[in-house]
Amino acid sequence: MFPPENLTSEIQNYNDVMLTWEQPSGTDMTRDLLGYKIYKDGLEITEINDPAILTYTDAILPAGIYEYSITALFHVGESCPSNIETVTLVLPVPQNPEASTQYANILISWDELADRSFSHYKVYRNLLMIADDIMENSYIDLDVPNGNYSYNVRSVYSGGYQSALSTDAVIEHIQTNIDEIIVPVKTELTGNYPNPFNPTTTISFSTKEAGYVSINIYNMKGQLVKTLVNKQLDAAYYDIVWNGKDNSDKSVSSGIYFYKMKSNNYTATKKMILMK
Protein backbone atom coordinates (compact mmCIF):
# COMPACT_ATOMS: atom_id res chain seq x y z
CA MET A 1 0.00 0.00 0.00
CA PHE A 2 1.57 3.21 -1.19
CA PRO A 3 1.44 6.44 0.90
CA PRO A 4 0.27 9.87 -0.33
CA GLU A 5 2.97 11.68 -2.29
CA ASN A 6 4.58 15.14 -2.29
CA LEU A 7 3.22 16.46 0.98
CA THR A 8 3.86 20.21 1.09
CA SER A 9 2.75 23.10 3.30
CA GLU A 10 1.94 26.80 3.05
CA ILE A 11 1.63 29.21 5.98
CA GLN A 12 -1.43 31.45 5.72
CA ASN A 13 -2.54 34.33 7.97
CA TYR A 14 0.61 33.85 10.08
CA ASN A 15 -0.75 30.90 12.11
CA ASP A 16 -2.64 28.62 9.71
CA VAL A 17 -0.88 25.71 7.99
CA MET A 18 -2.41 24.50 4.71
CA LEU A 19 -1.25 21.02 3.69
CA THR A 20 -1.48 19.66 0.16
CA TRP A 21 -0.56 16.27 -1.23
CA GLU A 22 -1.06 13.93 -4.16
CA GLN A 23 -2.89 10.63 -4.44
CA PRO A 24 -0.72 7.50 -4.02
CA SER A 25 0.76 6.30 -7.30
CA GLY A 26 -0.96 3.39 -8.99
CA THR A 27 -4.13 3.73 -6.90
CA ASP A 28 -7.61 3.36 -8.34
CA MET A 29 -9.24 6.17 -6.34
CA THR A 30 -12.77 5.00 -7.14
CA ARG A 31 -12.15 1.45 -5.87
CA ASP A 32 -9.20 1.08 -3.51
CA LEU A 33 -8.66 4.41 -1.76
CA LEU A 34 -11.01 5.43 1.08
CA GLY A 35 -9.36 8.59 2.42
CA TYR A 36 -6.48 9.87 4.55
CA LYS A 37 -5.27 10.32 8.10
CA ILE A 38 -3.25 13.41 9.01
CA TYR A 39 -0.65 13.34 11.76
CA LYS A 40 1.03 16.21 13.59
CA ASP A 41 4.10 15.45 15.70
CA GLY A 42 3.24 11.76 15.44
CA LEU A 43 -0.36 12.13 16.69
CA GLU A 44 -3.46 11.81 14.53
CA ILE A 45 -5.32 15.13 14.26
CA THR A 46 -8.01 14.31 11.70
CA GLU A 47 -9.34 11.71 9.28
CA ILE A 48 -10.58 12.61 5.80
CA ASN A 49 -13.13 10.20 4.38
CA ASP A 50 -13.14 11.56 0.83
CA PRO A 51 -10.22 10.45 -1.36
CA ALA A 52 -10.83 13.40 -3.70
CA ILE A 53 -9.86 15.88 -1.00
CA LEU A 54 -6.14 16.64 -1.23
CA THR A 55 -5.83 19.65 1.11
CA TYR A 56 -6.25 20.30 4.83
CA THR A 57 -5.78 23.45 6.95
CA ASP A 58 -4.58 23.24 10.55
CA ALA A 59 -5.84 26.59 11.85
CA ILE A 60 -4.86 29.18 14.47
CA LEU A 61 -1.75 27.51 15.86
CA PRO A 62 0.63 28.83 18.51
CA ALA A 63 4.18 29.61 17.50
CA GLY A 64 6.35 26.52 17.27
CA ILE A 65 7.86 23.82 15.06
CA TYR A 66 5.52 21.12 13.73
CA GLU A 67 6.06 17.92 11.79
CA TYR A 68 3.22 16.69 9.57
CA SER A 69 2.72 13.40 7.74
CA ILE A 70 -0.21 11.68 5.99
CA THR A 71 -1.25 8.09 5.48
CA ALA A 72 -3.68 6.70 2.93
CA LEU A 73 -6.65 4.56 4.00
CA PHE A 74 -7.52 1.54 1.87
CA HIS A 75 -10.08 -1.24 2.12
CA VAL A 76 -7.33 -3.49 3.42
CA GLY A 77 -5.76 -1.06 5.88
CA GLU A 78 -3.54 2.00 6.30
CA SER A 79 -0.41 2.84 4.33
CA CYS A 80 2.94 3.84 5.73
CA PRO A 81 3.40 7.61 6.30
CA SER A 82 4.20 10.08 3.57
CA ASN A 83 7.26 12.28 3.65
CA ILE A 84 7.52 14.44 6.79
CA GLU A 85 6.78 18.15 6.27
CA THR A 86 8.34 20.43 8.89
CA VAL A 87 6.68 23.82 9.51
CA THR A 88 7.99 26.67 11.69
CA LEU A 89 5.43 29.22 12.85
CA VAL A 90 6.42 32.59 14.27
CA LEU A 91 3.55 34.85 15.40
CA PRO A 92 3.99 38.50 14.35
CA VAL A 93 5.78 40.64 16.92
CA PRO A 94 4.92 44.35 17.39
CA GLN A 95 7.45 46.40 15.44
CA ASN A 96 9.31 49.67 16.03
CA PRO A 97 8.42 50.36 19.68
CA GLU A 98 9.29 53.87 20.85
CA ALA A 99 9.20 55.55 24.26
CA SER A 100 9.04 59.29 24.92
CA THR A 101 8.62 61.49 27.98
CA GLN A 102 5.42 63.45 28.38
CA TYR A 103 5.76 65.49 31.56
CA ALA A 104 5.64 62.89 34.38
CA ASN A 105 4.46 60.13 32.05
CA ILE A 106 6.07 57.91 29.42
CA LEU A 107 4.31 57.29 26.13
CA ILE A 108 5.00 53.94 24.44
CA SER A 109 3.90 53.48 20.82
CA TRP A 110 4.50 50.87 18.11
CA ASP A 111 3.35 49.87 14.62
CA GLU A 112 -0.20 48.58 14.47
CA LEU A 113 -0.76 44.91 13.63
CA ALA A 114 -3.38 43.88 11.09
CA ASP A 115 -4.27 40.22 11.47
CA ARG A 116 -7.62 38.45 11.61
CA SER A 117 -6.70 36.49 14.76
CA PHE A 118 -5.14 39.43 16.66
CA SER A 119 -6.70 39.99 20.09
CA HIS A 120 -4.75 42.60 22.09
CA TYR A 121 -1.34 43.80 23.26
CA LYS A 122 0.61 43.46 26.51
CA VAL A 123 3.11 46.11 27.62
CA TYR A 124 6.20 45.44 29.75
CA ARG A 125 8.50 47.76 31.68
CA ASN A 126 11.89 46.27 32.58
CA LEU A 127 10.45 42.84 31.61
CA LEU A 128 7.53 43.12 34.09
CA MET A 129 4.05 43.33 32.59
CA ILE A 130 2.37 46.67 33.41
CA ALA A 131 -0.63 46.58 31.05
CA ASP A 132 -2.86 43.94 29.48
CA ASP A 133 -5.84 44.01 27.08
CA ILE A 134 -4.49 47.05 25.20
CA MET A 135 -6.38 47.45 21.94
CA GLU A 136 -4.59 50.49 20.49
CA ASN A 137 -0.96 50.63 19.38
CA SER A 138 0.06 52.96 22.21
CA TYR A 139 0.09 53.12 26.00
CA ILE A 140 0.76 55.85 28.58
CA ASP A 141 2.73 54.79 31.65
CA LEU A 142 1.56 57.30 34.23
CA ASP A 143 3.63 59.20 36.83
CA VAL A 144 6.92 57.38 36.29
CA PRO A 145 9.87 58.36 38.55
CA ASN A 146 13.02 59.67 36.91
CA GLY A 147 15.30 56.89 35.71
CA ASN A 148 16.30 54.59 32.87
CA TYR A 149 13.64 52.22 31.55
CA SER A 150 13.24 49.59 28.87
CA TYR A 151 9.81 48.82 27.39
CA ASN A 152 8.61 45.88 25.31
CA VAL A 153 5.32 44.91 23.70
CA ARG A 154 3.82 41.48 23.06
CA SER A 155 0.88 40.66 20.77
CA VAL A 156 -1.81 38.17 21.82
CA TYR A 157 -3.93 36.19 19.35
CA SER A 158 -7.14 34.14 19.36
CA GLY A 159 -6.86 31.23 21.75
CA GLY A 160 -4.46 33.16 23.99
CA TYR A 161 -1.40 32.47 21.87
CA GLN A 162 1.33 35.09 22.32
CA SER A 163 4.17 36.43 20.22
CA ALA A 164 7.68 36.94 21.46
CA LEU A 165 8.55 40.28 23.05
CA SER A 166 9.31 43.18 20.76
CA THR A 167 12.71 44.81 20.63
CA ASP A 168 13.57 47.21 23.47
CA ALA A 169 12.37 50.79 23.58
CA VAL A 170 14.93 52.35 25.92
CA ILE A 171 14.48 55.77 27.50
CA GLU A 172 16.20 58.00 30.03
CA HIS A 173 13.14 59.54 31.65
CA ILE A 174 13.40 62.97 33.29
CA GLN A 175 10.08 64.47 34.32
CA THR A 176 9.40 67.88 32.80
CA ASN A 177 7.39 70.71 34.29
CA ILE A 178 3.97 70.80 32.68
CA ASP A 179 4.31 74.58 32.47
CA GLU A 180 7.40 74.34 30.29
CA ILE A 181 6.85 74.79 26.59
CA ILE A 182 7.70 71.56 24.77
CA VAL A 183 7.20 71.70 21.03
CA PRO A 184 6.36 68.27 19.55
CA VAL A 185 8.26 67.08 16.51
CA LYS A 186 5.03 65.93 14.83
CA THR A 187 1.28 66.35 14.90
CA GLU A 188 -0.23 63.09 16.09
CA LEU A 189 -3.34 61.57 17.59
CA THR A 190 -1.51 59.32 20.03
CA GLY A 191 -4.34 57.28 21.52
CA ASN A 192 -6.51 56.95 24.59
CA TYR A 193 -6.02 55.30 27.96
CA PRO A 194 -7.53 53.24 29.41
CA ASN A 195 -9.06 51.36 26.53
CA PRO A 196 -11.50 49.67 27.09
CA PHE A 197 -12.75 52.19 29.67
CA ASN A 198 -15.59 52.99 32.09
CA PRO A 199 -16.65 55.72 32.55
CA THR A 200 -13.79 58.03 31.48
CA THR A 201 -10.78 57.86 29.19
CA THR A 202 -7.95 60.28 28.39
CA ILE A 203 -7.17 61.07 24.75
CA SER A 204 -3.62 62.24 24.06
CA PHE A 205 -2.55 64.23 21.01
CA SER A 206 0.12 66.68 19.89
CA THR A 207 0.45 69.56 17.45
CA LYS A 208 3.82 70.56 16.03
CA GLU A 209 2.53 74.00 15.00
CA ALA A 210 -0.25 76.33 16.03
CA GLY A 211 -3.50 75.79 14.18
CA TYR A 212 -7.16 74.94 14.28
CA VAL A 213 -7.84 71.53 15.84
CA SER A 214 -11.03 69.48 16.06
CA ILE A 215 -11.56 66.18 17.84
CA ASN A 216 -14.97 64.55 17.47
CA ILE A 217 -16.38 61.24 18.71
CA TYR A 218 -18.64 59.13 16.49
CA ASN A 219 -20.66 55.95 17.03
CA MET A 220 -20.64 52.85 14.84
CA LYS A 221 -23.24 54.44 12.52
CA GLY A 222 -20.97 57.40 11.88
CA GLN A 223 -23.19 59.76 13.88
CA LEU A 224 -21.55 62.58 15.83
CA VAL A 225 -21.68 61.84 19.56
CA LYS A 226 -19.42 64.44 21.17
CA THR A 227 -17.21 67.35 20.14
CA LEU A 228 -14.22 67.45 22.48
CA VAL A 229 -12.05 70.07 20.75
CA ASN A 230 -13.00 72.71 18.25
CA LYS A 231 -10.62 75.66 18.50
CA GLN A 232 -7.22 77.17 17.79
CA LEU A 233 -4.37 75.52 19.73
CA ASP A 234 -0.70 76.26 20.21
CA ALA A 235 2.03 73.76 19.38
CA ALA A 236 2.15 71.45 22.41
CA TYR A 237 1.21 68.08 23.90
CA TYR A 238 -2.39 67.74 25.05
CA ASP A 239 -4.55 65.37 27.09
CA ILE A 240 -8.33 65.63 27.08
CA VAL A 241 -10.80 63.52 29.06
CA TRP A 242 -14.03 62.11 27.65
CA ASN A 243 -16.57 61.23 30.34
CA GLY A 244 -18.71 58.96 28.17
CA LYS A 245 -21.41 61.59 27.59
CA ASP A 246 -22.76 63.07 24.37
CA ASN A 247 -23.25 66.69 23.37
CA SER A 248 -26.54 66.70 25.33
CA ASP A 249 -24.67 65.60 28.48
CA LYS A 250 -26.37 62.19 28.40
CA SER A 251 -24.36 59.04 29.11
CA VAL A 252 -23.89 56.89 26.03
CA SER A 253 -24.29 53.12 25.92
CA SER A 254 -21.56 50.50 25.88
CA GLY A 255 -19.97 49.86 22.51
CA ILE A 256 -17.30 50.83 20.02
CA TYR A 257 -16.69 54.51 19.32
CA PHE A 258 -14.32 56.32 16.97
CA TYR A 259 -12.50 59.59 17.67
CA LYS A 260 -11.24 61.70 14.79
CA MET A 261 -8.67 64.48 14.88
CA LYS A 262 -8.22 67.15 12.19
CA SER A 263 -5.45 69.75 12.27
CA ASN A 264 -4.10 71.64 9.27
CA ASN A 265 -3.13 68.84 6.83
CA TYR A 266 -3.34 66.08 9.43
CA THR A 267 -6.28 63.68 9.89
CA ALA A 268 -6.40 60.53 12.01
CA THR A 269 -9.07 58.25 13.44
CA LYS A 270 -8.77 55.71 16.26
CA LYS A 271 -11.10 53.25 17.99
CA MET A 272 -12.07 52.94 21.65
CA ILE A 273 -14.41 50.67 23.59
CA LEU A 274 -16.78 51.76 26.37
CA MET A 275 -17.63 48.80 28.62
CA LYS A 276 -20.19 49.21 31.40
Backbone angles phi, psi at 126, to 5 degrees: 50, 40
Spatial distance between the Cα atoms of 204 and 17, rounded to a whole number of angstroms: 40
How many C-beta atoms lie closer than 10 Å to residue 44's C-beta? 10
How many C-beta atoms lie closer than 10 Å to residue 84's C-beta? 12
For every one of its 276 residues, what pLDDT tens digit does the chain have, with 9 covering 90 and above?
789 999 999 998 778 899 999 999 876 555 689 999 999 999 999 999 999 999 999 998 888 899 999 999 998 899 999 999 999 988 889 999 999 988 888 999 998 876 667 889 999 999 999 999 888 888 889 889 999 999 999 998 877 888 889 999 999 999 876 555 567 888 999 999 898 998 899 999 999 999 999 999 999 989 999 999 999 998 888 899 999 999 999 999 999 999 999 998 899 999 999 998
User: H or E element: which one contains 134?
Assistant: strand 128-134
DSSP for 54-91?
-EEEE-SPPSEEEEEEEEEEETTEEPPP---EEEEE-P
Q: pLDDT value at position 218? A: 96
List Cα–Cα distances, 168 to 150, 190, 208, in angstroms: 6, 20, 26
Tell if the pTM clears 0.75, that is, is over it: no
Which domains are seen in the chain, by residue range? 5-89 (2.60.40.10), 91-179 (2.60.40.10), 181-276 (2.60.40.1930)
Of 131, 115, 274, which Cα lies nearest the Cα of 200?
A: 274
Q: pLDDT value at position 182? A: 65
Q: pLDDT value at position 215? A: 96
Q: Could you tell me if residue 249 is left (phi over 0), alpha (psi between -120 and 50 degrees) or otherwise beta? A: left
